[in-house]
Amino acid sequence: MPIHNKLVRDKIPEIIGKTGKVCHIHTLTSDEYLAELDRKLNEECAEYQADKSLEELADMLEVMYAIAEARGYSVEELEKVRAEKAEKRGAFIEKIYLESVDD
């Protein structure tokens, strides 16, 4: 029996069940959930780094949305802060690479 011990998307147990397999799950506490979300973000980032796919970017975004909501923020608040920072400090569109700053 494979051991996974990781946070999975909500429909994964149902998908596994449809294959005739039985999965064993439990619901995380809030603290466990936050820790597992952080771990999941690292996992998804590593997967993106490995293949640079749009699907992995979407997975990272899904986890970031879940982290925001788990920490009491809405996705709209997250986007507002992102947009404000982009307005104030810029985004990453111009591909600027800072080499050094003289004093």
Query: Distance from first CA to last CA of the chain, Å, rounded?
Result: 61
**Which has the closest alpha carbon to 5: 22, 20, 26?**
26
Q: What's the count of helices (H) and strands (E) in the chain, helices before strands?
A: 4, 0
Give the model confidence (pLDDT) of 86-103 as tens digits. Answer: 999 999 999 999 999 999
Asked if 23 and 13 count as a contact pair (C-beta separation under 8 A), the reply is yes
pLDDT reported for residue 79: 97
- What is this structure's pTM? 0.90
3-class state of residue 37 by DSSP? helix
